[in-house]
Structure 1
Amino acid sequence: MRLTFLLTLALAVPLGAADWPQFHGPGRDNHSAETGLAKEWPAAGPPVLWTKAVGQGWAGPVVAGGKLLVFHRVGDEEKLEALEPATGKGLWAFAYRTRYRDDFGMDEGPRATPTVAGGAVVTLGANGDLHAVDLATGKARWHRALLADYGADKGFFGVAGSPLVADGRVIVNVGAKGAGVVAFDAATGKEVWKATDDAAGYSSPVLATLDGKATAVVLTRDGLVGLDPATGAVRFTHPYKPRIRESVNAATPLVWNGDVFLTVSYGLGAALLRPTGAAVEEVWANDRSLSCQYNTPVRVGEFLYGAHGRADGAPPELRCVEWKTGAVKWARPRFGPASLIAADGGLFALTAGGELVRFDASPAGYVERGRAAVLGTPTRAAPALSDGRLFARDGTKLVCMNLK
């Protein structure tokens, strides 16, 4: 059997065991190695250690090097702040002017969660401003204006895919002609390579080993692309795009045991794909199993857990689905969109309605252990779990909760 595993940024830069340095955690798979977490909590929810007012945005918090990083919009600036995780005390701030305006009157803050690697914090703003900021001091290292540099389109809801840092390269789905995916030198911001004509989706790329080779796995607006992270050479492609134009590819691909799981919604649904060289075999595909609009499901063992349905329709139901077949094991109606983290033998869900829920990771059935309202509506940013603390935010407030 081919060994496939999600590579983490720990391969490139030493990180603390409790770090949550990027979107969806160390392995970009929403898994945490934390233990000793409370199995249940009071009706009021886990103890709140501190709260902080924040600006607009859907970018999730990250934790690395003893700092909590928050990326949000305050007035006409996109702002990156470093805080003490235990207290919320400010350490430094970096800000720049943004002119992003949402075509649909929605939140106008940054969408992409920062990535920490090589002693830098890499951010991508809603208008395509790509920055590298020194983690220790908050001083800018370099900047690229992606929409201006490449003539790319901001898309329906702004630029949103969180940057991937792999082997000294920052990889972004830019979405321009001849520059669908671009890699930049992490130290200087200079272009290293560019590949494909694919438009930009809202999904974030992941790094995986497929057929014994490190591979940047990217779900663009047009479909799945596997790239050599060092050169940009295209290893495989697979079209995966809804028929209707008013749609997005947003959930992050999941890679396990040589297979790649995609979920899109908009009548397309999910697929389990098996790349072998340049060929891509479709193991199963349908719109009935787990059709996630923008939240990425979590795999625990042989099963997937995620929110099935669109946020702009009937409330999505939480489902448990078998990885290898797509068979639905159980469904919890009207659960709503939710960001999920697998930790300490269970699952934590932060719903779009601002509720934190703990339930069992079991295909036998849905067993809820705790539920509490902790934030307002809508809550779209993915949370971070570090050193027993859960950091979560909505459009106005950041909260730190003790899960131990």
Structure 2
Amino acid sequence: MSVREFLAGVVVVWTMGAPVSARAAESWPQFRGPNGDGHSQAKALPLAWSETENITWKIPIHDHGWSSPVIWEGQIWMTTATEDGQRLFAVCVDRRTGKIVHDLKVFDVEEPETISEENSYASPTPVIEAGRVYVHFGTCGTACLDTESGEILWTRRDLHCDHQWGPGSSPILWENLLIFPMDGIDVQYVVALEKSTPAPAT
């Protein structure tokens, strides 16, 4: 099986290597982790996996997405999209059991942009904090979801650019702001939204 074939059937796994207290204490709230550098403070992590070794659970996630999972306490969130880009989803998995907690269609897209075969319509990684997860699909839209109920609290669908090869930039949180770049071949700009509302920061 090629790497690409493996990734196309997205599987989330949670390993047994770290002590339970360490796993429970650490969240992974954004792309490349708490500090954006890919480093974790967890100790004694496993160095090898197989279909049976160091696997607590695994579950297939429908459709297609390159976004990384984010973790907050007992939840793991990620995004996925249909191959044609017409339906965009946010999925939440229970960190302990692997059970699907939320499987939410966030956006319908009538005319998705053409993207590279190497990309997906769900490549930007979400960012999460207590009670809220923010999902970003580039020019197709950005949304804030309640992590407990799955309710969509707000959306923005008026921030556009021509990604050419598809979206890829992931949002971050800073103080009361949700920040992300819109890096198109036509326009390039950085967006800062007040995270409690979809309004631009002033």
Q: Could you tell me which of 127, 138, 149 is aligned with 1:137?
A: 149
* Deviation per residue, 1:18-74 (Å, 9 max, x gap): 111111011111010101223x54777842222222221110111103101121114
| RMSD, aligned CA | 2.6
Change (3 A) 1:173 1:107: closer
2:58 is the alignment partner of 1:47: no
Q: Could you tell me which of 159, 164, 174 is aligned with 2:172?
A: 164
Change (3 A) 1:188 1:31: same
TM (norm. structure 2) is: 0.75
**Aligned residues between the structures:** 173
Q: How far apart are 1:183 and its partner, in Å? A: 0.6
Residue equivalent to 2:191: 182
Residue equivalent to 2:133: 121
Q: Could you tell me which of 5, 25, 43 is aligned with 1:17?
A: 25
Change (3 A) 1:101 1:174: closer
Counterpart CA distance in 2 for 1:153 and 1:174 is: 6
Change (3 A) 1:108 1:185: same
2:79 is the alignment partner of 1:68: no
Q: Is the 8 A contact 2:162 2:187 kept in 1?
A: no
Residue equivalent to 1:102: 114
Amino acid at match of 2:54: P
Change (3 A) 1:166 1:118: farther
Q: Is the 8 A contact 2:182 2:190 kept in 1?
A: yes
Q: Is the 8 A contact 2:49 2:55 kept in 1?
A: no
* Deviation per residue, 1:145-187 (Å, 9 max, x gap): 1xxx34x423222222111111110111124899711210100
SS of equivalent residue, structure 1 residue 180: strand
Amino acid at match of 1:52: I
Counterpart CA distance in 2 for 1:42 and 1:111 is: 25
Q: Is the 8 A contact 2:123 2:137 kept in 1?
A: yes
Change (3 A) 1:29 1:35: same
Q: Is the 8 A contact 1:100 1:108 kept in 2?
A: no
Change (3 A) 1:115 1:74: same
Q: Is the 8 A contact 2:163 2:183 kept in 1?
A: no
Residue equivalent to 2:91: 81
Counterpart CA distance in 1 for 2:118 and 2:180 is: 23
Q: What does 1:192-341 align with in structure 2 at a 5 Å threshold?
A: 192-193=201-202
Amino acid at match of 2:195: A
Residue equivalent to 2:37: 29
Amino acid at match of 2:96: A
More strand by share: 1
Counterpart CA distance in 2 for 1:94 and 1:56 is: 14
Change (3 A) 1:17 1:156: same
* Deviation per residue, 1:101-127 (Å, 9 max, x gap): 434444433110000025211111144
Amino acid at match of 1:68: I
Identity rate, percent: 21
Change (3 A) 1:46 1:26: farther
Query: Structure 1, unaligned stretches of length 5 or more?
Result: 1-15, 194-404
Counterpart CA distance in 2 for 1:84 and 1:93 is: 12
Amino acid at match of 2:35: G
